[in-house]
Amino acid sequence: MSAPLAGSHLLPQINTRAVPEALLDALRQRFAGQFSTALVVREQHGRDESSFSLPPPAAVVFAHSTQDVADAVKLAAQFKVPVIPFGIGSSLEGHLLAVQGGISLDVSRMDQVLSINAEDLTVTVQPGVTRKALNEAVKSTGLFFPIDPGADATLGGMAATRASGTNAVRYGTMRDNVLALEVVTAQGEVIRTGTRAKKSSAGYDLTRLMVGSEGTLGVITEVTVKLYPLPEAVMAATCSFDSLADAVNTTILIIQLGIPIARCELLDGTTIRMVNQHSNLSLHEGAMLLMEFHGSPASVQEQVDTVQAIAADQGGQTFEWAKTPEERTRLWTARHNAYFAGIQSRPGCKAITTDTCVPISHLADALLDSVLEAQHSGLTYFLVGHVGDGNFHMGYLIDPDKPEERELAETLNQQLVRRALALGGTCTGEHGIGLHKMGFLVEETGAGAVAMMRAIKQALDPDNIMNPGKIFLL
Amino acid sequence: MSAPLAGSHLLPQINTRAVPEALLDALRQRFAGQFSTALVVREQHGRDESSFSLPPPAAVVFAHSTQDVADAVKLAAQFKVPVIPFGIGSSLEGHLLAVQGGISLDVSRMDQVLSINAEDLTVTVQPGVTRKALNEAVKSTGLFFPIDPGADATLGGMAATRASGTNAVRYGTMRDNVLALEVVTAQGEVIRTGTRAKKSSAGYDLTRLMVGSEGTLGVITEVTVKLYPLPEAVMAATCSFDSLADAVNTTILIIQLGIPIARCELLDGTTIRMVNQHSNLSLHEGAMLLMEFHGSPASVQEQVDTVQAIAADQGGQTFEWAKTPEERTRLWTARHNAYFAGIQSRPGCKAITTDTCVPISHLADALLDSVLEAQHSGLTYFLVGHVGDGNFHMGYLIDPDKPEERELAETLNQQLVRRALALGGTCTGEHGIGLHKMGFLVEETGAGAVAMMRAIKQALDPDNIMNPGKIFLL
């Protein structure tokens, strides 16, 4: 692979550890047809939605059960070989890349919904269940699972990266919605964290420690999450603005007034042009908020009235309503496809995606200057944002064969992150650190906090076999 | 002190470590008037609201700043002497007791509100600020801090025990409401966790690890929490029921329907009699729900209409409304005073307080049998409950000089906890493990999870100086 990491100041050195034949033999014997060293399978498990390419893992194990996971980890631990948990491959920061070699542990076939406790508004699933499959499984109960990161990610992967997405402004993130986990530790032991009770003060919050640990502390083999009653009324609308600033300021006011809006997403004109082309739509190609309101009919009407008044005050045009569930689905599909619409607008390109999140009062400061910088750079970009949370993504579309474009995109990304940090924000609202943001993590939280993370990692995984080389280097 | 731990199967052995004169001299020199070895001061810092009595700490340091905390911890670390952070002394599980000796580090004078960010709905305070002082400080912004554990606890203490209380059913617990912390580690280093951004995927969730760690991983020296707009409309009411079962079943239905009730508290007839006597009220002495509704006028009315219909269906009597803010304050003061009303109903007694929390569908199973067992035991008890969360407290009122009463209360507590665990619940919804629930923690989460907690503790505090002997034994 040609100079895969050229142009980035932030990526670690590759430090591939040997995978002994004896381990491969032992895995082959234990897992038979659930084990593969075929190049096509390994390559499929050696990449994600990031822009990086690295040599693939040495082998892939397809786990069907917690026991499979435990056995695979125990064998890998015996040989001190890295294990990289794999869900569906939709992460964005190189989480799945075999930067130190090792084996990929695919849990996508652990796809059973284990128990639906409708009367408690909870559900327990295996880690390979995707969010769409989960919602399909609970549909008849009148409940739903709101977390929606766009991709049809697995619940295990969503927990591991502390994912959120469009509905988080009302329903919170995976941090807030995971009640309990089953985890296979780096020693191959099976432990449980949390219970189905809504709250607890029973010892260290191991659930929250595992949520967002990016596979570096163990493999999540079971996830219990909260469900919510399907809202009695749902209304969705788009509103166009003359300027990005007006759209952003409308968002800030909505949040500061405490309006329980369910979704509040931003696209800019450039991105809408990409979405129109990709999804054959005819949305107005200016700054646009896409909003959704959940509640009782009266409460939804109250929210809508207030938000319309705020938007009008900020120069927003008339709301265009998606009146039927089908229209709403089309609208949100278009929003979710913005990433792919962006990628496809420049054939052969890769996206370097940013993910800062700032206190809502600083959203305009963080976003508008970053867009100006991108425009001045001449790079093609897209802009989508969970702006209700102060979180937005720019995607810089680079030709992976042109190191100067990657260099330029990384420079823009650095300027954007440093601006967000200076405003009291974070380098990653929902994608995680992975390979790509290790330097930013230190800038954000300080060497002392990262040293504490390292100490925890070393205590729980002394041989550094669980997805090594992610979040921080040891 | 005479046989302080008699009757309990769950308390650890006392294992007091020597506090060298050299440390006391060094502390005296560094802290002068902020340092005391006076018995009355030490005794004040050697107890909490639990029923246990132990010898007090060897000295008390009154910190005025993060630097004070760091210096005190560094000196203690040098001599490997325990440090017990102290807020206001309102914890319930022996968290503050010097079970291994050492010094008490009182942060109550660190009582400054550092920055109110009304436009972001956040506030940053020193750990000694109490929840009432915080609400007083932010009153003019139109915002409030909802977490209300009853006692006027400090924010540092509330974070350390993952506190919650009456408003948690709508606003969540300290787990959900702490955005960022400053912490002095066991090495005396100052670190920061989290940012003011609403969400983040930046590395391990050290904030959530510290929240609920009961002073065993470091000293919290700064807390950033979320604020909420004061609701436009607030309505509070009581509703009496013929039986506890009817009140509990009403609660279950309210939660299962997803009604965003702000408070939903239960008292039984025995407890209301105590409250009436203590607070000079004339509440109906039967099972009673105390409820509060927050929102816009229309949304509050919707909630009230639905809840009234549910309650009527379950045999509830007419709602009695607390119409003015003063009436509401009186009502909630009466509720908050239930604990003290209980204690004072039996002069000289101590309360052994339970704290289970179960999935809402099992609330009736968990609560009703436990009340029956208490009634059959002949012990005086009170019952209060944050039943909207599936959390309730029984207080067994014992004569501390009668070991057989403590034995009986502990037996009742064990039956109650084991029932909750069998129903998928937790031994502690909000009080923490402290000294008293270590055995239950292992039963609840399993030896593997507790081993993981121990490994984290040993990695971050290898000399075991931070509030040792709490949560688990090393």
Distance from C-alpha of B194 to C-alpha of B182, rounded to nearest angstrom? 9
The region that residue B432 occupies, defined by phi over 0 for left and psi between -120 and 50 for alpha, beta otherwise, is left
- CATH number, domain of B328, equals 3.40.462.10
Whether B202 and B148 share a structural domain: yes
- CATH number, domain of B82, equals 3.30.465.10
Whether B282 and B416 share a structural domain: yes
- What is the per-residue pLDDT for A9? 43
Distance from C-alpha of A386 to C-alpha of A346, rounded to nearest angstrom? 24
User: What's the distance, Cα to Cα, between the start and end of chain B in Å?
Assistant: 25
DSSP classification of residue A118: G
- Bridge partners of residue A448, in order along the sequence: none
Q: Are A290 and A220 in contact (CB under 8 A)?
A: no
- What is the per-residue pLDDT for B144? 97
DSSP classification of residue A361: G
Distance from C-alpha of A400 to C-alpha of B472, rounded to nearest angstrom? 52
One digit per residue, pLDDT tens: chain A, 474 residues? 333 333 344 455 567 888 999 999 999 999 999 999 999 999 999 998 888 889 999 999 999 999 999 999 999 999 999 999 999 999 999 999 999 999 999 999 999 999 999 999 999 999 999 999 999 999 999 999 999 999 999 999 999 999 999 999 999 999 999 999 999 999 999 999 999 999 999 999 999 999 999 999 999 999 999 999 999 999 999 999 999 999 999 999 999 999 999 999 999 999 999 999 998 888 899 999 999 999 999 999 999 999 999 999 999 998 999 988 888 888 888 888 898 899 999 999 999 999 999 999 999 999 999 999 999 999 999 999 999 999 999 999 999 899 999 999 999 999 999 999 999 999 999 999 999 999 999 999 999 999 999 999 999 999 999 999 999 998
User: What's the distance, Cα to Cα, between the start and end of chain A in Å?
Assistant: 25
Whether B126 and B265 share a structural domain: no
Whether B270 and B363 share a structural domain: yes
Residue B85 belongs to a domain: yes
A204–B471 C-beta distance less than 8 A: yes
How confident is the model over B354-366, as pLDDT tens digits?
A: 999 999 999 999 9
The chain-wide mean pLDDT, for chain B, equals 94
**Which residues from chain A sit within 8 angstroms of residue B357, using beta carbons?**
197-200
Residue B201 belongs to a domain: yes
Residue A151 belongs to a domain: yes
Distance from C-alpha of A171 to C-alpha of A227, rounded to nearest angstrom? 10
Distance from C-alpha of A247 to C-alpha of A371, rounded to nearest angstrom? 14
- Given B397, B422, B447, the domain boundary residue is B422
Whether B141 and B288 share a structural domain: no
**Which residues from chain B sit within 8 angstroms of residue A429, using beta carbons?**
197, 199-201
**Which residues from chain A sit within 8 angstroms of residue B445, using beta carbons?**
191-193, 202-203, 206
Which residue from B minimizes the CA distance to A230? B258
CB pairs under 8 A between A and B: 273
Whether A142 and A290 share a structural domain: no
- What is the per-residue pLDDT for B7? 35
- Given A106, A141, A157, the domain boundary residue is A106
Top residue of B116, B120, B147, B201 to mutate, by most chain A CBs within 10 Å, is: B201
Residue A471 belongs to a domain: no
Residue B428 belongs to a domain: no
Which residue from A minimizes the CA distance to B295? A299
- Nearest by CB to A213, from B204, B359, B426: name it: B204
How confident is the model over B103-135, as pLDDT tens digits?
A: 999 999 999 999 999 999 999 999 999 999 999
Q: Are B356 and B286 in contact (CB under 8 A)?
A: no
B120–A258 C-beta distance less than 8 A: no
Please report, for chain B, how many H helices and E strands are present, in that order: 16, 18
Q: For residue A38, give its domain range.
A: 21-106
Whether B100 and B218 share a structural domain: no
Whether A250 and A305 share a structural domain: yes
Distance from C-alpha of B272 to C-alpha of B267, rounded to nearest angstrom? 6
Q: Which of B61, B151, B162 is nearest to B107 (CA)?
A: B61
Residue A213 belongs to a domain: yes
Which residue from A minimizes the CA distance to B439? A202
Residue B223 belongs to a domain: yes
**CB crowding A267-300: b at 16 or more within 10 Å, else e:** bbbbbbbbbbebbeeebebbbbbbbbbbbbeebb
Categorize the per-residue pLDDT at B6 as very low, low, confident or very high, splitting at 50, 70 and 90: very low
For the CA atoms of A143, A149, A151, A155, the dihedral, rounded to the nearest 10 degrees, stands at -60
Whether B187 and B58 share a structural domain: no
- Given B405, B422, B439, the domain boundary residue is B422
Helix ranges (H only) for B356-395 are 363-377
B191–A448 C-beta distance less than 8 A: yes
- What is the per-residue pLDDT for B11? 57
B208–A444 C-beta distance less than 8 A: no
How confident is the model over B205-227, as pLDDT tens digits?
A: 999 999 999 999 999 999 999 99
The 3-state DSSP class for residue A366 equals helix
- Reply yes or no on whether the pLDDT at B12 is more than 70: no
Whether B79 and B135 share a structural domain: no
A195–B212 C-beta distance less than 8 A: no
- Nearest by CB to A205, from B208, B425, B458: name it: B208
Residue B329 belongs to a domain: yes
Q: Are B389 and B261 in contact (CB under 8 A)?
A: no
Q: What domain count does chain A have?
A: 3
| Tokens, residue B79 | 């001599």
Distance from C-alpha of B176 to C-alpha of A176, rounded to nearest angstrom? 7
- Interface predicted TM-score (ipTM) of this complex, two decimals: 0.96
Whether A294 and A334 share a structural domain: yes
Whether A94 and A128 share a structural domain: no
φ, ψ (nearest 5 deg) of residue A237: -150, 155
